[in-house]
Amino acid sequence: MRLRNRVALVTGAVGAIGGAVAKAFAQEGAALCLADRAGTGGIAAEVAALGGRVIEAALDVTRRAEIDAAVAATLAAFGRLDILVNVAGIVSMGPAATLAETEWDRVLDINLKGSFLCCQAVIPAMRAQRYGRIVNLGSIIGKNGGNPRPWIDPAEQTRASNVAYGASKAGVHAMTFFLARELAADGITVNAVAPGPIATAMTTDFPAALAAMIPVGRMGRAEEVAEAVLFLAAETAGFINGEVLDVNGGMWAD
Ligand SMILES: NC(=O)c1ccc[n+]([C@@H]2O[C@H](COP(=O)([O-])OP(=O)(O)OC[C@H]3O[C@@H](n4cnc5c(N)ncnc54)[C@H](O)[C@@H]3O)[C@@H](O)[C@H]2O)c1
């Protein structure tokens, strides 16, 4: 029970990776606030069935007041807040040459600013406890310039390129480094997990030619990302701070 007596707020909890994190955390003894844009009924019920203590919060990560309300509800229900996992995110495909400015703003707002606002919102409670674990969801795309190879197959650029997404996730990585330094003295660690292609709704159209570039020979599973998040969220990871942990089957190494 690596998270016994710990309380976690997980955004994007309705999604594949958020749901896997929620279940993994519940199995390790954490109490949970599961947050997503609409209700989190299905996953909350699954967590409760595992014996987990759970509350739900409907929030948009771009809206500070809704995030603050979820943090307040978590503290009211469980008396503390030990772990934040920023999973909420969106993807957006297409060539950089024609990307709409509004789409750039939408992706950066949710993926980067949304994660930042959630981090800000939990700092006071974690500081007061002198303990905290923040795990952000980055991406291989924030490191590798994108997976498509338009010089080999121009169709890949349309189906799999996502410059706004990559820039937002590179921002998440940089934000992780800054917060890790700023908060370390308060007993709070800040790390990120950078998945490669994971078989979820987000990657339904991922081209087979690109999947074939993954050295382990398959796409990843949400549960494998959750395992990395769990590792960083545990008390035992206290000397790991400002790390971006790759979970990508060997597709990118740095
Ligand atoms: N699937 C992959 O291959 C992959 C790879 C690298 C990184 N990631 C990252 O992992 C995270 C989860 O991905 P997933 O595959 O589970 O995606 P998903 O689409 O299954 O889940 C994302 C969740 O975020 C929620 N969400 C979106 N916008 C929101 C907002 N404004 N406020 C609150 N919630 C919002 C959605 O409702 C959804 O439940 C994302 O941050 C994604 O960028 C995914």
Confidence of residue 202 (pLDDT cuts 50, 70, 90): confident
CATH architecture of 7-247: 3-Layer(aba) Sandwich (3.40)
Query: With a 6 A CB cut-off, is 192 part of the ligand 1 pocket?
Result: no
Query: What whole-number distance in Å separates Cα of residue 233 and Cα of residue 10?
Result: 12
Q: Is the pLDDT of residue 1 over 80?
A: yes
Q: What share of the chain has pLDDT > 70, as a percent?
A: 100
**Residue of 9, 37, 210 to mutate, ligand 1, most atoms within 8 A of C-beta:** 37
90 lines ligand 1 (CB under 6 A): yes
Q: Does the CB atom of residue 197 touch ligand 1 within 6 A?
A: yes
Ligand 1 atom 7 nearest Cα: 139
DSSP for 41-85 reads HHHHHHHHHTT--EEEEE--TT-HHHHHHHHHHHHHHHS---EEE
Residue 41 pLDDT > 80: no
- CB of 148 closer than 6 A to ligand 1? no
Active site residues: 165
- CA gap 100, 114 in Å, rounded: 20
What does the domain layout of the chain look like in residue ranges? 7-247
Q: Please state, as a whole number, how many other Cβ atoms lie within 10 Å of the Cβ of residue 236.
A: 10
Q: Which residues pair with 31 in a beta bridge?
A: 7
For residue 179, the CA-to-ligand 1 centroid distance in Å is: 22
Structure tokens at 208: 């087979």
Give CA angle at 105 (38, 146), nearest 5°.
95
* pLDDT value of position 244: 98
The per-residue pLDDT for range 211-247, each reduced to its tens digit, is 999 999 999 999 999 999 999 999 999 999 999 999 9
pTM equals: 0.98
**CA 63 to chain CA centroid, nearest Å:** 17
